[in-house]
Amino acid sequence: MDLLVSGLTPDGGVFRVNDNGCERLDTTPTMGMAQTDRGLFCARLGFKEARVDRLEGGRVAESWLVPGGAHPHDVTLDRGALAVTDTLHDRIVWLDLDDGSVLDQWQATELGDAWHVNTLLPGDDRLYATHFGRFDGNRGWFGHGPERKGELIEVSGDGPVVLRGLSAPHSPRRFGDNWLIVNTFEGALSLVAPDSSRLVDVVLGGWPVGLALVDGVAWVGVGDSHRLPSSLPPHGCTPGKLVGVSTKTWKVVAEVPLPFSGVYAVQAFEL
């Protein structure tokens, strides 16, 4: 196990977690991350505008602001550009890797944070994204977690549906012909068929976000991160953890405590 993990709470930042322990590489609250040959791109919290930092050698080499953006949830390489979710505006923006200028954008709605577009996955010459549901107003998703209105979509046009019936979904990953999805509201890692039927639900509890597949184990971040509204399951300010689930037996095989409460991204360490 050698993982890169982000924490979005004030005690968070960027961490490397392996058999030697947990090393804090950066102290700025962070959501999504993208490991590239140019360094590590991080979607940052705590700023008035959506900010993406490029870390190199453990230091901030560049900072880019997404014009008109706020609260970026994820960042990923996509067809030669850097895709960033501007979650408070249901928008995805593509930035030039050389200077951070805006190349293109896709917007689900003009209603603010109606769908809560969050995590991204590139693949098959397209970009996929998760969202909480096709609601009609800002924060329309609030309180609707049990209704399984979330989707995995293709980022194009009106957002063609790939999977439906999800519950505050995050962190999609391909798994053979199926998908692994973190159904965050249900506190579960789910194996989902292409027709959206649930094949396996592994209940982890807490508020899980972040997923990495390493050597037959699905590592999921489980934390207490979002200062959640009262309509969501209760969470205290407890330390986060990584939970390892065997992709053969779908049983929990490991738990690794983390020194911060709000886990967001989990990736195999590649830098």
- List phi, psi (to 5°) of 207: -125, 80
What gap in Å lies between CA 254 and CA 77, rounded to an integer? 30
What gap in Å lies between CA 6 and CA 51, rounded to an integer? 15
Residue ranges and CATH numbers for the domains of the chain are: 2-268 (2.130.10.10)
For tokens 């030669």, name the residue: 80
What are the angstrom distances between the C-alpha of 217 and each of 62, 65, 180?
34, 36, 12
DSSP for residue 260: S
What are the angstrom distances between the C-alpha of 110 and each of 16, 85, 116, 234?
37, 14, 12, 31
Q: Is 151 in contact with 135 (CB distance < 8 Å)?
A: no
Burial environment of residue 46 by CB neighbours within 10 A (0 to 12, 13 to 18, 19 or more): exposed
pTM over the 0.85 mark: yes
Contacts of 47 (CB under 8 A, 6+ apart): none
Instruction: Write out the chain's pLDDT in tens, 271 residues.
Output: 899 999 998 889 999 999 999 999 999 999 999 999 999 999 997 677 789 999 998 899 999 998 888 889 999 999 899 999 999 999 999 999 999 999 999 999 999 899 999 999 999 899 999 999 999 988 888 877 778 999 999 999 999 999 999 999 999 999 999 999 999 999 999 999 999 999 999 999 889 999 999 999 999 999 874 544 333 344 445 789 999 999 999 999 999 999 988 899 999 998 7
Could you tell me the two tokens for 5? 């993990």
Q: Which helix (H) or strand (E) holds 192?
A: strand 188-192
